[in-house]
Amino acid sequence: MASASETTNYFLRRAFKALELDPRYERLLMTPAREVRVELPIVMDDGNVETFIGYRVQHDDSRGPFKGGLRYHHEVEIDEVRSLASLMTWKTAVVGVPFGGAKGGIQVDARRLSKSESERLTRRFATAISDVIGPLRDIPAPDVNTNGQIMGWFFDQYSRSNGFSPGVVTGKPVELHGSLGRGAATGRGCMFAIRECLKHDGKAIEGTRFVIQGFGNVGSWFAKLVHAQGGKVIAVSDINGGIYNEDGLDIPALCAHVDNTRTVVEFAGSKPVANAELLTLECDVLVPAALGHVLTEQNAAEVKAAYVLEAANGPCTAEGADILDSRNIQCIPDIWANAGGVTVSYFEWTQNLQNFRWTEQKVNTELERIMVDAHTRIRAAMETHACSMRTAAFIVAVQAVKSATDMRGLQ
Ligand code: NAD
């Protein structure tokens, strides 16, 4: 299996080829502008000192300040961060928000950390990378196992040395300069993406059967939103296991169960399903909303869905994606499908720079407009280049980044 960054570059090369791009752009647009690795020693609650490793990779800033999430996970490593940073460059470009791409993370099993250990680690990380971030330089956001509280500590720590700087991170709590609608934004954007694709094919969310891997921020919001529109969520999973009900799960009741138990497992009226099995359940839309590289050459031939909606970043390996394409399963690529989060992060950032709050309705309306406009551009590229939706999304993005790079100049 190719590494995470090789996988991203594999998809990217198809767009370069379709655009007949001069080879000199390959190096320029593929490799990151800056990679930072930091050691983060903190005192644990038991008095011991542990040292964690953190990364920030800044891929490209030709279209605006670097932008991308922070992930706390024991599998965080430089190659994956590199790949996720690159995906952010193409994601911000495909939806046309004025940012570049970056990503960061700490190699840590977040479930092991107490709240105070998590706070100390976050503050240490904010200080360690403070020279390379800033509201007009690089703006982190939440990702796997990071949330509004962590963004709040990050904002506070940065502001201690730099003055009041709410625009240094997005995804902050609403009470602390966050944006209304940011929590739901990625799931809502995914909902708009599948709605547009279904509409294009003469279908609707109502009655459509969804299977969702991952029930965190993105998966749970997506489930709530499609359920509210008459979609049938027949299976979901989290790190502890999966649940299934062929008649459709009661999503509001499931959310209450998760609030109480912190897991989807043992939800009343559902049958257990193993995580691997969940990906091959028969459904209309399979939604990977957890981690990367889950649809591979091992299981892509067994997928029994008409659409794969990439709510997670990089859920398909190169081989997995090619198998899905060859089986005419419509893969809705991550760089568009889950761009709702960074889009509302952009709204949060503009609100912070202006110290002016938008209504939730304005946030949601503008998000919908941006997702729908991107869909129109991607469909046009699919027609012009007779290519997959993924290659078309990369084509739209590469054209935007290349133009900005050319216009800024290299002197
Ligand atoms: P999260 O930490 O809130 O939730 C992750 C979920 O995945 C949890 O339910 C967890 O239990 C589950 N999970 C982890 N390992 C699993 C496994 N092996 N099998 C099944 N479930 C597993 O994270 P999130 O913010 O919802 O992010 C999910 C994905 O969406 C990531 O790929 C992230 O990069 C991507 N994404 C997030 C945002 C955002 O705004 N949060 C934006 C764009 C993309």
- DSSP secondary structure string, 230-270? T-EEEEEEETTEEEE-TT---HHHHHHHHHHHSSSTT-TT-
CA of 203 to the centre of ligand 1 (A): 27
Give the per-residue pLDDT at 370: 98
- Expressed in angstroms and rounded, the spacing between residue 290 Cα and the centre of ligand 1 is 4
Nearest atom (ligand 1) to Cα of 215: 9
Average pLDDT over residues 363-377: 98
Tokens of 141: 């956001």
- pLDDT higher than 90, residue 2: no
- Residue type for position 24: R
Instruction: Please provide the CATH number assigned to the domain covering 32-166.
Output: 3.40.50.10860
Q: How far is CA 387 from the centre of its chain?
A: 23
From the list 311, 278, 273, 385, the residue with the least C-alpha distance to 20 is 385
Atom number, ligand 1, closest to the C-alpha of residue 290: 7
CA–centroid distance, 10 to ligand 1, in Å, is: 24
| Ligand 1 mean position, distance from CA 48 (Å) | 30
In this structure, what token pair is assigned to residue 168? 């240094």
Tell me the C-alpha to C-alpha distance, in Å, between residue 9 and each of 15, 69, 154: 10, 20, 31
Per-residue DSSP letter, 293: S
| Dihedral sign from CA coordinates of 308, 310, 315, 317 | positive
Q: Tokens representing 388?
A: 């997959």
- Residue 59 in tokens: 């891929």
Centroid of chain to Cα 107:
18
Active site residues per annotation: 103
CA distance 76 to 305: 30
* C-alpha span between 116 and 287 (Å, rounded): 34
Regarding the beta carbon of 310 and ligand 1, being less than 6 Å apart is answered: no
Closest CA to 236 of 276, 256, 264, 260: 264
192-239: pLDDT as tens digits:
999 999 999 999 999 999 999 999 999 999 999 999 999 999 999 999
Say how many C-beta atoms besides its own lie within 10 A of residue 227's C-beta. Answer: 20
132 neighbors 58 (Cβ within 8 angstroms): yes
- Give the burial class of 33: count Cβ atoms within 10 A of its Cβ; 0-12 exposed, 13-18 middle, 19 or more buried: middle
According to CATH, the topology of domain 185-332 is: Rossmann fold (3.40.50)
- The mean pLDDT of 76-96, rounded to a whole number, is 97
CA distance 213 to 225: 16
Structure tokens at 23: 């080879």
Q: What does the pLDDT average to over 12-22?
A: 95
The stretch 9-32 carries a mean pLDDT of: 93
What is the 3-class SS of 96-165, one letter each residue?
CCCCCEEEEEEECCHHHCCHHHHHHHHHHHHHHCCCCCECCCEEEEECCCCCHHHHHHHHHHHHHHHCCC
Q: Does any ligand 1 atom lie closer than 6 A to the CB of residue 288? A: no
Residue 114: the pLDDT is 98
**Closest approach atom of ligand 1 to CA 338:** 43
Ligand 1 site, residue 170, Cβ cutoff 6 A: no
Q: Residue 299's pLDDT band (boundaries 50, 70, 90)?
A: very high
Q: Taking the domains of the chain in order of start, what are their residue ranges? A: 32-166, 185-332
pLDDT in tens, 93-117: 999 999 999 999 999 999 999 999 9
Residue 411 has pLDDT above 80, yes or no: no
Mean pLDDT of 401-407: 96
Confidence check: pLDDT of 334 > 90:
yes
275 lines ligand 1 (CB under 6 A): yes
Ligand 1 centre distance from Cα of residue 313 (Å): 9
Cβ neighbours for 269, distance < 8 A, ≥ 6 positions apart: 245, 249, 250
**pLDDT per position as a tens digit, 251-282:** 999 999 999 999 999 999 999 999 999 999 99
pLDDT, residue 28, reads 87
Tell whether ligand 1 has an atom less than 6 A from the beta carbon of residue 159.
Answer: no
Could you check whether 32-166 and 185-332 share the same CATH topology? yes
Residue 24, pLDDT score: 87
Closest residue to atom 30 of ligand 1, CA basis: 312
Q: What average pLDDT does range 16-25 have in this prediction?
A: 93
CA 1 from centroid of its chain's CA atoms: 22
| Per-residue DSSP letter, 358 | P
Rounded Cα–Cα distance for residues 92 and 406 (Å) = 18
Rounded Cα distance between 161 and 234, Å, is: 49
| Each residue's pLDDT tens digit, 161-193 | 999 999 999 999 999 999 999 999 999 999 999
pLDDT digits (tens, 9 = 90+) for 228-258: 999 999 999 999 999 999 999 999 999 999 9
Supply the DSSP symbol for 229: T
